Amino acid sequence: MIRPSSGRGRKSWKRKLDGFRSEIRAGLRDLRRLFGYTRHHRGALLLSLLATAGYGAASALLAYMIEPIFNDVLINSVNVAWVSVVVLVLYIVKGVSSYLATTLVASVGHHAVKNLRIALYEHILQQSFRFLSRRSTGSLMSHITNDVEKIQSAVSDAACDLLKESFTVIGLAFVLFYHDWKLAFLALFGMPLAFYPLVLLGRRLRASSDTSLRRWRSISEIMQETISGFRIVKAFAMEGFEIERFRRAASRLFHVNMRITRWTAVLPPIMEAFGGLALVAALFYGSHQIQAQRLTPGAFTSFIAALFLMYTPIKRLSRLNATLQGALAAGTRIFELLDTHQEVHEVPDAIQFAAMRREIEYRDVSFRYADSSCNILRGVSFKARSGEIVAIVGTSGAGKTTLVNLLPRFYDVTEGAILIDGEDVRRATLMSLRAQVGLVTQETVLFNDTVRANIAYGLKDVDATKIECAARAAFAHDFILALPRRYDTVIGERGCRLSGGQRQRIAIARALLKDPPVLILDEATSSLDLESERLVQQALLNLMQGRTTLVVAHRLATVRNADRILVLDRGEIREMGSHEELLRKPGGLYSRLHELQFSAEGLAV
């Protein structure tokens, strides 16, 4: 009975030891990656190390100077000037070193965090739509803000204290051993035992820090959802529900943070207890050495002072443990995100696409999402010749938006190919491919900037006359002139200070100014009232003129004049033809959709 238990115990300890080693390796790996962001500032980092070494040496020498102060100045009244000058110089060196260490370490740390934040933001923007669909906006914002803030706190503030206090402890230890190595061993005998709780709690602190970051992510998600859905919250009188949801999330964060605080607070008293024991042992041994005249009173006083001074930085180091563990947990989350690659890649020999001249061809295209076993599109084939308008209609979920999203490579086809002038779009550089495509969607995306900046988005040094011409062609010029600062009016987040029709016309002006040969209109008028839709349709006619246009439409009335209409059903093209041709097909899907839609509109009238 004893042997199996003993064997299980050994296996349990082995698993714990292996886990501990794994965590150390992972932590060191993350620290090396983080240290890589300082590679352009190694000179400042080296100077900061020299400054912290100077701080530690000056602190240790000040403790050593207690011996001549006690023996020469206080007892024998000799060397007063010399001792005074040395003490003054040491304090000046300590002060200058402290200033240099603090500023240099903070500078390197802030540069590293800035580079890390930029790399994280750049990495997110370079990912595919699939990447963004699997992560909430709140969680990504939490990574860029709160996670990076945890690291910033560690590398800019805690790192300086860590270096200064570590060098101070090393310097004071030299003083102890210089005076009496036996007494030093006696005084520091319990030091490893004092650090054991620090190591033991380190894993728990890191786990709790990771939980704290996840709680912060939950709060960020709730805030983002509630603020972006503010109208719905108000309309359904759900303020109380959302406040209670936020209160629960905040309470969970509070409990985790209090657990971290309690574990951090228990370490300094443990250090002080071991320090008290060491001091008592030193007093007994030191008094015996003084009586035996093997140690002077000044040397012993210097020894005790160095011992006292040593426990102050040690306690500070124990408090820094929580900050460092939080930074390691944040670094793990950030590097996991940086190691996630779901972007659409360019081939090594990608070519620059010239402006489209002949046609777009979908050749036997199929598509399914990576986490799905069912195809959204199946064997879709059609051509859109230069200057043609091809409309795509069908029931909800038929794959209309997915079909047009494949052209600018927001996603890559699973099977088949999409070609522009006979060249597979996967052979093109993403920049040259997307430069050919203008996009106007149902959900107009505008930025919290001026009207001018929104129209000229993505273009540099655009002449004001061209911006105004684009706005006139989009029937936006008149309402822009009525705004408080005209083209320099800031329109708010997502253009919230404009009406739906006004936002759409700004988006159309943006597409006109870009002047792409290919245009995608994805339900561009479906959410507008009749008056706004009339103005937007006129603007769209100006926009479509001379361009190859793919129109995703819900209202069939908007696609009557299309050169060709594709009818999608469950990811397949069921019918293809002009409006009149499709209506003449008895029992056809298009004619049935047309009948249902216009009969419903007649009932509504």
Q: What is the pLDDT of residues 10-36, one digit of tens each?
A: 556 566 556 556 666 666 676 677 777
Could you give the 3-state DSSP secondary structure of residue 67? helix
Is-contact 372 450, C-beta < 8 A? no
The average confidence (pLDDT) of the chain is 78
Same domain flag for 302 and 392:
no
pLDDT at site 180: 75
Domain CATH for 420: 3.40.50.300
Do 139 and 262 share a domain, yes or no?
Answer: yes
- The pLDDT score that the predictor gives to residue 524 is 66
What's the pLDDT tens digit per position in 327-356? 777 778 888 888 877 667 878 888 888 888
Q: Are residues 181 and 237 in the same domain?
A: yes
Whether residue 549 contacts residue 507, with contact meaning beta carbons closer than 8 Å, is answered with no
- Check whether residue 158 and residue 260 sit in a common domain: yes
Q: Are residues 244 and 333 in the same domain?
A: yes
From first CA to last CA, the distance across the chain in angstroms is 86
**Token code pair at residue 282:** 């030193």
- The residue type of 272 is E
> pLDDT (tens digit, 9 = 90+) per residue, 506-528?
888 888 888 888 888 887 665 55
Give the range among 59-68, 123-132, 427-436 with minimum mean pLDDT: 123-132
Structure confidence by residue, pLDDT tens digits, 535-575: 777 777 777 788 888 888 777 767 778 888 898 888 888 88
- pTM attached to this predicted model: 0.70
What distances in angstroms separate CA 431 from CA 350, 352, 543, one per listed residue? 11, 8, 22
- Whether residues 385 and 318 share a domain: the answer is no
Question: What is the edge-to-edge ordering of all strands in the sheet holding 377-385?
Answer: 377-385, 359-367, 415-420, 423-424
What domain range is 306 assigned to? 24-338
Per-residue confidence band for 190, with pLDDT thresholds at 50, 70 and 90: low
Q: Tell me, what's the pLDDT at 123?
A: 83
Are 404 and 327 within one domain?
no
Total domains, the chain: 2
Question: Averaged over 582-586, what is the pLDDT?
Answer: 81
Q: Are residues 316 and 428 in the same domain?
A: no
Sheet containing strand 548-552, strands side by side = 437-441, 518-522, 548-552, 389-394, 564-569, 572-577
What is residue 172's predicted lDDT score, i.e. its pLDDT? 84
Query: Domain boundary at 338, 363, 382, which?
Result: 338
Q: Is the dihedral of CA 478, 561, 401, 358 positive or negative?
A: negative
Name the domain boundary from 338, 368, 402: 338
Pairing mode of beta strands 389-394, 564-569: parallel
Residues 261 and 372 in one domain: no
**4 belongs to a structural domain:** no
602 pLDDT more than 70: no
Domain boundary among 289, 304, 338: 338
- Same domain for 164 and 109: yes
Percent of the chain scoring above 90 in pLDDT: 2
Give the pLDDT confidence score for residue 193 in this predicted structure. 60
